[in-house]
Structure 1
Amino acid sequence: MRMYDIIVKKRDGGELTKQEIEFFIEGYTNGDIPDYQAAALTMAIYFQGMTQEETAILTQAMVDSGETIDLSAIKGHKVDKHSTGGVGDKITFIVGPLVASVGVPVAKMSGRGLGHTGGTLDKLESIRGLEIEMEKDQFIKNVNEHKLAVAGQTGNLAPADKKLYALRDVIGTVDSLPLIAGSIMSKKLASGADSIVLDVKTGSGAFMKTLEDSEALAREMVNIGNNLGRNTVAVISDMNQPLGFEVGNANEIKEAAEILQGKKVEDLRKLSLEIASHMTVLAEVFSNYEEAYQTLEQNLENGKAFAAFRKFVQAQHGDVSMIDDLSQLPSAAHDIEVKTEQGGFVSEIDAESIGVAAMYLGAGRATKDDQINHGVGITLKKKIGDEVKAGEALVVLHSDEEHPDTSIEKVKQAYTISSNKVDAPTLIHKVIK
């Protein structure tokens, strides 16, 4: 078998066989196939696409290129969630305890952030002492005992994807639908869950800016999961403005804890219950979505979800007093209001610009070597549809700098004020099974 023939076949619109795809992934991972031939094939895929079967085979080949995590020692049906990323996305810290509160095991492998704010692990490290690196036996023990553990990805998961993504990033083929979907799903499948719920974002703060593109990606990933033996559901949710009111690290942990204590932040609460409901139905704890939603909503009110969060923090050696008294979480030296000069109604918020403003404060990483400042961040005072008067604050910046001019400018650019009232964007656009 020659790589040349595989490239030409895909260039001309042919469907690659299982043997051809596996030959490519294995050869590229071990260095037998050079970058220029891999680049040629990915560009051919970019233009010609792949069938559902080809995409599933490609994904499985990337899973098989490295280690897979065996979670069979964990009792029960293990359900994972994955978000395609957004601004103020603290859903994991609400959904994990919610799902755990009804006895469904959540064994979550997460990463660090490169971008607007820290990733899941960085945010958790706002809690003093909390350990996100642990031995596999301890990870499994924590899930069996407390139904929830979150740890850094260990081992050599889907190395073919890592190598292929680095190549795609520099040759202009990142936004190929089968390659994006295969990249995301290969890591999820290698992580060992029985079922998966995907939170696919759409809008100004999302990777996919249009609903059409987001739906196409969601369908592609659901097809991959189902074709490879994992029940998969995708929820398409809005990212035309940040989720909730907090963007950062410690302040996102604070807001998530408040939701678990019953605080009514509508978009965060609704999306968390939506995702958790689908997870628990996939785990067959509930027979239908409505029953799941009702019970999980009760667990936000009666303290069971918050109790699950406390147990999780304690089991990973986090200082629980910081959860019981949220004022102990890291905070910044200065709180700076960014005010509007114009009255009216908030008609648009460029979520990505808010995220970038948070990064400039130190909440995220511009390069992988940057250090996260857990105490800085942004609190939104106005969201889409809200009335605002001239001189009123749009956001509060939590900054260690007294004059964070770049972040102030980014926030001002992010907000559009109009004379006519507009409705808040639809939060949940579609559910795909």
Structure 2
Amino acid sequence: MSMRQGRKKSFQEEEKKDGQSGMDLPQLLKLIDSISKMQPLEKKKELWPHLPKQLLRQIELDSSLFPLIAHKGVTKSWKPSSSSTSSPKSSLHLLDHDSDDQRYLFNLGFKEVEEDPESNRYRMPRKLKFVFSQADSGRLLHVGPPLLGEHTSHRAWCPVTGGFSCIPPWDPSNPFLGLYSPPDHHSREEEKHINVFMVLTGVSRPALAFYRSKKDDRGDPEQWTSKLNCTITDPHGGAADSSASAREMRFTNGIWFREKFYALSLQGTLAVVEEEAGSRNLQITASSKTRAVPSVPCRRFRECLIESGGEVLLIFLVFKKSSTGTNVVADVEVYRLDTEELAWVRKNDLGDTTVFWGTNCCMPVSASQIGCKKNCVYFTQPSSVEEWWVYDMGAGTISPGWNIRKGKSVPRSPVWPRPK
């Protein structure tokens, strides 16, 4: 059997292993093309992932890096209270987060080994023109008309394995933010090959949902969905005279970590969501007393939850108005989650880790593996997605990184040493 034939078989095996419908590679490519053709063309699609070219190249050469690409995060705004008697600090309440109906165009093509593995030769396949709406932990979520006799409009695709999985039908009147458990969660001994797909709505009923897909003892797929209506009052929520439903927790961000789901509410309250013992019912088992917001005054910020080095990290990009009235990133803050105290602890050193935060994704990497500068957070300004800036954790400073357009004051591309 040739290496190429063996690779195609591995695609099929991976699909069956994850409880997904099996199809060969030509069928998969045909399905991807048909899905993309069904997308509306009135809005320009953004290339995904938005990361430096050097990093994109390394992901294409080493697909094991791909699942590190996390959800892009959430942008939140503050609004002053109408009460004139409130103090400046208490008069600010989180009002809303930015809506997002952007569609993305997948922009990677992974390395394929040639017939003779000893030759160390490979070729880069064509980049699949796949259009999707959300991405997290190596899965791309497509929302569109049902295909091939399906009864659902949501399906997740893993570009590395080529596997598709269908998400149960969802009420289109409810918002939908899909997040995935990390790939290493599949190796748990008592439940091998398990996937957990979490849905956040930004409303209280339903507040969130779990969808699991795994193999049972007989090797047959087992799937179910659990939903949670949240009736718990957010301690950092609206005014006391507002309605009870308006003060209920509404989750807009979250992350799966060590068999638990940590969900952040719109108001910055962290809640731990678990399944009840012996049932598939979801319950909130704990919530934080402190509020997850930047420590410096601002009117707008962007937050992202990632897992790195065995910890959950919360990163803030803090915006301020420039002299021209545009929003600029004026500060960066990084916190780690103390899972025992359920509190956020300021972190001033990322060690060998560096974070790249583009317009549509966030990715922590090992600097020694990639070859970039360590202990940094790279990001783009809202006014220019082509210009990257760098926050040096050690120095606590923000400086220009590079601009992909030719310029005199900053490099056109990052200069990285060769990875070790």
Q: Which has the higher relative contact order, 1 or 2, with Cα contacts under 8 A spaced 6 or more apart?
A: 1
- TM-score relative to the length of structure 1: 0.26
- TM-score relative to the length of structure 2: 0.26
Q: Which protein is richer in strand relative to its size? A: 2
